[in-house]
Copies of this chain bind each other. A is one copy, B any other.
Amino acid sequence: MAERRIPAIGLAAALMLAPTALALAGPDVEQWRTDNGARVLYVHAPEIPLVDARVTFDAGSARDGDHPGSAHLASNLLMSGTSARGPDAIARALERHGADVSTGAERDMAWIKLRSLRDERHLRPVAQTVAAVLRDPAFAADEIERLKRQQRTALDEQEQSPGQIAKRLFWAAAYPGHPYGHHPLGSRDSIAAIERADLRAFHDRYYVAANATVAIVGSLERARARTLAQTLVGDLAQGQPAPALAPTPELDGDRTIRESFPSTQAHVVVGRPAVSRGDTDWPAFYIANHVLGGGGFTSRLFTEVREAEGLVYSVYSHATLMAAAGPFRIGFQTRGDRTERALSIVRAQLSRLLQEGPTDDEIEAAKRNIGGSFPLEIDSNDELVGYLSMMGFYGLRSDYLDYFPEAIDEAGRRAAHRALRERVGSAPRVTVIVGGDRSGQAGP
């Protein structure tokens, strides 16, 4: 039941790896729909006798409605038993066939993923188990209580981390009244208020075929991939896709939020809603952000804020691509008494880049860096399944894996500058500062 989050930025960053390799590898993505309306994306990868698959639902915390935390809880409960089998029996059934299965949820999506041996004697029972888990979760009272406790404990732990607190406050302030604004885990009160009937209703509404994407990568032929997709989701109700999310609200002015915390380091996040998944300016924006603070040791923020004055240990900037505009964020940690100085340098660097744009040299360096600094393949089938899920979920063009590195290669200085200006520009921003209350450098 380990949960793995695949933040959109992770996908985007990893896509960066691929310009050369994808041109070489050119994974051939086939798409179809099951009879009951689920989208399927499939890549044949014959090298190893394994199958990776992921079923994704538009059933993340943005669908929580009046019950914050329920999407997460529903996702976690999948592996907690069906009407026929308890959690231990399910775990044993999967292990007996050497399969790994796990679930997860974030703001946009909830998913279940599996890795199985290709051999039908193993793959079929594994797929049937996953299908049963999706179709017929028991939502047993004691399991609901157990997972509610777990979810509350996770919340409590996050409240002990200034970095996590800063994140939560940022989302709340940058997305007021929007379904992205609340914490995906919910709150202690909202978790307590969730009833079995709410989870049932959530499941009935969102765990349906028309709201699902199936991604498959493995050494099974197309016909068997069809059978696999059918086994996984063919018995789900057809249902309806989730409606489009509301656009993100415009902030009515810059806002700064401070929260005390007895740490020596202040955790700072600056940003605003900026880029949606599918935005055609994304490749240009990506390069601009690489120059600003996404490029590790060579980025302006790193050079100026860290190296020039030794103010911070780490500093980054990145954009998260989501169904509605995801956040562009600059984040850093610094000693409490240096917060203002670091913030002013960060702001000055962003303003300068917004005004003058990157140089040709920076653009070239960024492209080289993007193309050359990572392994030149998508070499994990599990990773590839992640991309396919993302493409299917957000309805991206089916040649996206080829298109994206090409678009990076073609984007120029001017496009990068424009994309950054239009998406971040002079619009209001949220600044969150947590901690740094304890003076001196010594820890406890």
Binding site for B on A (CB under 8 A): 47-50, 88-89, 91-92, 95-98, 117, 119, 122, 156-157, 159-162, 165, 188, 259, 261-263, 265, 374-375, 377, 379-381, 443-444
Contact = CB atoms under 8 A, between A and B. Distances in A.
Nearest to A437: B262
A98 B48 contact: yes
Given A48-B96, A50-B98, 10 more contacts: A49-B119, A50-B117, A88-B374, A91-B375, A92-B375, A95-B380, A156-B443, A159-B443, A159-B444, A160-B263
A270 B196 CA distance: 38
A379 B261 contact: no
Pick from A161, A263, A265, A444 the residue with the most CB of B within 10 Å.
Answer: A444
B159 A160 contact: no
A122 B259 CA distance: 53
Copies of this protein in the assembly total 2
A89 B375 CA distance: 8
Contacts of A160: 160-162, 263
A261 B444 contact: yes
A259 B444 contact: yes
A265 B160 CA distance: 11
A1 B91 CA distance: 24
Contacts of A261: 262, 444
24 contacts: A47-B96, A48-B96, A48-B97, A48-B98, A48-B122, A49-B98, A50-B98, A50-B117, A88-B374, A91-B375, A91-B379, A96-B379, A98-B381, A117-B117, A156-B265, A156-B443, A160-B161, A160-B263, A161-B161, A188-B443, A259-B444, A261-B262, A261-B444, A262-B262
A104 to B, nearest CB: 15
A117 B444 contact: no
B161 A95 contact: no
A263 B160 CA distance: 8
Closest 5 CB pairs of A and B: A48-B98, A88-B375, A92-B379, A50-B98, A95-B380
Pick from A48, A160, A380 the residue with the most CB of B within 10 Å.
Answer: A160
A49 B47 CA distance: 16
B165 A444 contact: yes
A252 to B, nearest CB: 25
